Amino acid sequence: MSTDPKIQILLTGATGYVGGSVLAKLLEHEKKSAFAITAIVRSADKAKLFAEVEERTGVPITPVQGSHSDAALVASLASQSDVVIAAADVDDLEAARAILGGLRQRYEKTGVKPILLHTSGTAVFCDHAAGLSGDAPVYDDTDLAQLAKVPDSAPHRNVELTVFEADAQGYVETYIISPSTIYGRATGILVDLGIQNPKSQQIPRLARLSVKRGRAGMVGKGLNYWPNVHIDEVADLFMVIFDEARKTKDARNPALGHGREGYYVAANGEHKLYQISQAIGKALVKLGKSDNAEPTTFTDDEVEELGGDVMANVILGGNSRTVARRGKLVGWTPAKTTSDMLASVEEEVKFALEN
């Protein structure tokens, strides 16, 4: 039996859509016997369920009931970690600072740089098109000069800049994974036990409101573009980076970068908002819930119901155009494309009808 110390992994957002999917991959990892995982969990009931997860998988999991917004708790746990995977609220700057503060302590204690995999999102590239235009720059995640021009005021950017700065200071290696429109239902033991949220945000939100109004809806004319990616393949990208980052520098894929060179967009297709809304419309007609598949523009009141100006006109109706090259250079091999995303829409409409 190996006496090597366990790799200490801290995961925030373990009960969420992305974080839970990443945790599920860790539980299936070929080297899972070397992991000791700590997960911050808000719910006491869900925290108790991790005992069954450990029993079934054999991976030591320590659930800590609390919030990723508890800076003292987060910093303390990060200071004990070799790897932190941050997949909770991507806009919580104080939580990011707490993680980095703990990782600085880890480095000062061990002399070994810990690793941070931070989740962001391609809303950082968004404009305010409100569904009225598809004219927008395409960001390439290997083009450092272009990425440096992203405005400091962009969504998620203040946290990203803080993560970059920590890497530049030399006490941590940081990697940012920036998913686009994520689709598909999460599956696995965490979903089966009721621990993990299995659904995304954008498409289910559009489906629910379209079901309520009895006809597919869209922001503006639905002319804006977004990239897309399946939830399983987002988690796969995390695993590729997790595996490469833990290797010695000589053994790493030479394309692996960290800090500003460690920015990884998760995308493998692009769509217009209109295409999703049209797919919702076709599903509603097929299921006998509408007599017209053509989407219509959401009213001002419906925009508020979607979540207001930023959610509707930026996150759903804005343009976020990207080329995801860096992950593929490191070994990420996503296979699902926009056609798979559109094929998944009917299932989301069925869920909306059932609930």
What is the average pLDDT across 126-135?
97
What is the average pLDDT across 117-127?
97
What is the average pLDDT across 26-46?
96
pLDDT tier at 31 (50, 70, 90 boundaries)?
A: very high
DSSP letters along 3-70, please?
A: -PPPEEEEEE-TTSHHHHHHHHHHHH-TTGGGEEEEEEES-HHHHHHHHHHHHHH---EEEEES-TT-
Share of the chain above pLDDT 70, in %: 99
pLDDT tier at 1 (50, 70, 90 boundaries)?
A: very low
Is pLDDT above 90 for 317?
Answer: yes
Is pLDDT above 50 for 17?
Answer: yes
| Residues β-bridged to residue 322 | 139
Q: pLDDT value at position 95?
A: 97
What is the average pLDDT across 299-315?
95
Q: How many residues does the chain have?
A: 355
CB 95 within 8 A of CB 153: no
The pTM (predicted TM-score) of the whole model is 0.97
pLDDT tens digits, one per residue of 49-76: 999 999 999 999 999 999 988 999 999 9
Share of the chain above pLDDT 90, in %: 97
pLDDT tens digits, one per residue of 206-264: 999 999 999 999 999 999 999 999 999 999 999 999 999 999 989 999 999 999 999 99
Kind of pairing, strands 270-272 and 225-230? antiparallel
| Residues β-bridged to residue 38 | 10, 62
Residue type, 87: A
| Residues β-bridged to residue 266 | 179
Query: Is domain 7-354 annotated with CATH 3.40.50.970?
Result: no
User: Token digits for 210?
Assistant: 């379209």
Q: pLDDT value at position 355?
A: 84
Count CB neighbours of 252 within 10 A.
15
Q: pLDDT value at position 3?
A: 59
Domain positions in the chain are 7-354
Kind of pairing, strands 138-140 and 115-119? unpaired
Is pLDDT above 60 for 169?
Answer: yes
